[in-house]
Amino acid sequence: MAFGTNRMELSAWKEAVRAGEIAFLTHYWQDDRFPGCKTVTKVGCANLDRLIEWGKTYGLKPEWIDYKKDYPHFDLFGNIEVDALLDAGFADRVKRFNLKKKHEG
């Protein structure tokens, strides 16, 4: 289940992914397979080579890519999520989703 994002953010993410850009979408999320994770950031790019290279920066393996039709992406959680958002200039999202506090220390 996903919530905390809106149609405009989702549409912009999809458009950027299809255009071959590295695109970020963060939302609240609940999944019993990942206890303690309250958010996920999807980092997508239709250019798989570019996405794989981006993922290497954070130690992400190509086999971890979620190959959704037209929207391949990595799902980021925890410290990697926070680091990637900050590195990409999305401090506003870290604050909006109260991520930094949960992962400091």
C-alpha span between 35 and 8 (Å, rounded): 29
Plot region of 93 (φ>0 → left; ψ -120 to 50 → alpha; else → beta): alpha
pLDDT tens for 22-77 read: 999 999 988 888 788 889 999 999 999 999 999 999 999 999 999 988 899 999 99
Does an H or E element contain 3, and which?
strand 2-3
Please state the pTM of the whole predicted model.
0.89
pLDDT tens for 8-17 read: 999 999 999 9
Domain ranges of the chain: 2-103
